[in-house]
Amino acid sequence: MSPIATRAPETIDVGAPPTRWRLLTDPASPTPIYLGVGLTLAGFIMLGIGWAKVAGEVDVFRQFPYLLSVGLPGLGLIMAGLILVNISVRRQDSAERARQLSALTEAMSDLQRAIERP
């Protein structure tokens, strides 16, 4: 048997109450995706505020404080939010693929047992 077939799939106690840590680390939890979308929206709001403030200033030296205090952190929030969403979706996809592989392994084992019967 292959190492994949002998490895037991990870189980999660469905009856256990969700904890804060589980809400963030469980691949099936949508919480990290919501956090990532929230961070991305906050970043776009910061960029909008920075744009409005910079557009009102004619002198470049007066625009720099808005660029540094609102624009760059806004871009950082957008990047962090998109990375969080990307990682969360990949984890969910990986968990689903592992579940499908486990089901396929079980079906192949059943088929092998059925073929080996006299």
Which of 67, 63, 32 is closest to 46 using CA atoms? 67
**4-61: pLDDT as tens digits:** 444 444 555 556 666 777 777 777 788 889 999 999 999 999 999 999 999 888 888 8
C-alpha distances in angstroms, 47 versus 54, 61, 79, 99? 10, 18, 13, 41
Q: Are 25 and 87 in contact (CB under 8 A)?
A: no
Q: Which residues contact 116 (CB under 8 A, 6 or more apart)?
A: none
Percent of the chain with pLDDT over 90: 55
CA 111, CA 35: separation in Å to the nearest integer?
44
| Average pLDDT over all residues of the chain | 85
Q: Please tell me the pTM assigned to this model.
A: 0.70
Residue whose entry in the numeric block shows the structure tokens 């984890």: 91
Any idea where the domains of the chain sit in the sequence?
29-116
C-alpha distances in angstroms, 25 versus 12, 15, 77, 92? 12, 17, 21, 11
